[in-house]
Structure 1
Amino acid sequence: MDEEIDLDALEKRMSGALSALRGEFASLRTGRASASMLDPVMVDAYGSSMPLNQCATINVPEPRMVVVNVWDKGLVNAVDKAIRNSGLGINPVMDGTILRLPIPELNEERRREMAKLGGQYAESARIAIRNVRRDGMDQLKKLKNDGMSEDDVKLWSDEIQELTDKKIAEVDKVLEAKQEEIMQV
């Protein structure tokens, strides 16, 4: 075969979608404190919006507590406001430039919401993987029009589909593990 589809590139793009999903899952709250749960929090500081971790240090001293040490005293109120408005359901306790975030126990309804949100994240990852598959199939159509044999087209098509199925199965496995973690009391 002198004409080929770059399966490694397709797999790399599919793995990127899976990595993005893992990052989104890290920010989902499971009842345990984690510094990554504050990753999506954006703070209005110095005339622009910046991630919380670029204007404060985030520590997890105990399983149900996150401590945010704001570097600039003038930003403490902005950080407090950003955390309250983030939708995480956390109310910071201010102590000078330090904000203590007690992580409340998740109730059953909130756990279900989190599990549903995890499902939405997983579906986005599946869509991204299918889009990569479609790109691969489009490349295949071009090669077929350029004279690739039917047998080679079938072979490559099966390879791309097998890769897609494998990556979607990984998404499902990661989702199942995360939902189990969320629903654990």
Structure 2
Amino acid sequence: MIADIKKNVEQKMHKSLEALKADLGKIRTGRAHTGILDHVMVDYYGNPTPVNQVANVTLTDARTIGVQPYEKNMVGPIEKAIRDSDLGLNPATNGDLIRVPMPMLTEERRRDLIKVVKSEGENAKVAVRNIRRDANEQLKKLLKDKEVGEDEERRAQEEVQKLTDRFVAEIDKSLQAKEADLMAI
């Protein structure tokens, strides 16, 4: 019973951490990385399809992403999808290769992005704490129903707290890494 609760808690907390990392990956830094285009959808014969499924996405240099469509007729739709995305990127077509230069970030924009990063981190911490609260309620219910003893329930709560502390520390580490990445010029 208690082992199931702890396993469930760890899985949920891990999912929260992964969701945070995915969200942080979407926040654009000054350097180019192919993951930025992962959520950009292209109209591929009437179906919204991720760019990386209709084109080869590579880094041509530290500040430029190269997008090579698998089909020549997809150059226009891919370029339009990247331009229309919320990323603020301006792709340029060179034959059948689309170059996506990453604009320099201003100091003010970096500060704004750090605020967004901190907000995402706080949301992830709240999610982890909510998971802890739910687990503690389940443990108290087991104690109330006399399915476990008080010592077992207290030990389980301490282990849930240790899991919470571990995941909050990992969230902080991810946030620090992203902030350092944003402030690097």
TM (normalized to structure 2)? 0.89
Q: How far did 1:141 drift?
A: 2.5
The one-letter amino acid paired with 2:59 is: V
Q: How far did 1:106 drift?
A: 1.0
Once the two structures are superposed, the pairs formed by residues 150-165 of structure 1 within 5 Å of their partners are 150-165=150-165
Q: Deviations over 1:21-44 (max 9, x none)?
A: 222222322211111111121222
2:7 & 2:31 partners in 1: Cα distance?
37
Q: How far did 1:73 drift?
A: 2.6
Contact 1:41 1:82 in 2 (8 A): yes
Q: How far did 1:52 drift?
A: 1.0
SS, match of residue 123 in structure 1: helix
Q: What is residue 72 of structure 2 aligned with on the other side? A: 73
Q: Deviations over 1:106-127 (max 9, x none)?
A: 1112212221222232223223
Contact 1:5 1:140 in 2 (8 A): no
SS, match of residue 80 in structure 2: helix
- Select the residue among 1, 4, 23 that pairs with 2:2: 4
Q: What is residue 29 of structure 1 aligned with on the other side? A: 28
Q: What is residue 141 of structure 1 aligned with on the other side? A: 140
Q: What is residue 173 of structure 2 aligned with on the other side? A: 173
Structure 1 consecutive aligned stretches of length 4 or more whose deviation exceeds 3 Å: none
Q: How far did 1:165 drift?
A: 1.8
Query: Structure 2: which 5+ runs fail to align?
Result: none
Q: How far did 1:72 drift?
A: 2.3
SS, match of residue 89 in structure 1: coil
Q: How far did 1:70 drift?
A: 1.3
SS, match of residue 87 in structure 2: coil
Query: Structure 1: which 5+ runs fail to align?
Result: none
Q: How far did 1:53 drift?
A: 0.6
Once the two structures are superposed, the pairs formed by residues 77-156 of structure 1 within 5 Å of their partners are 77-147=76-146, 148-156=148-156
Choose 127-136 or 30-39, whichever is displaced more. 127-136
1:120–1:51 distance in 2 versus 1, CA, 3 Å: farther
Q: Deviations over 1:25-72 (max 9, x none)?
A: 223222111111111212222212121111111010211111001122
Q: What is residue 51 of structure 1 aligned with on the other side? A: 50
The one-letter amino acid paired with 2:10 is: E
SS, match of residue 49 in structure 1: strand
Contact 1:5 1:139 in 2 (8 A): no
Q: How far did 1:144 drift?
A: 1.3
Give the length in aligned residue pairs.
183
SS, match of residue 2 in structure 2: coil
| Cα-Cα RMSD | 1.8
SS, match of residue 98 in structure 2: strand
The one-letter amino acid paired with 2:102 is: I
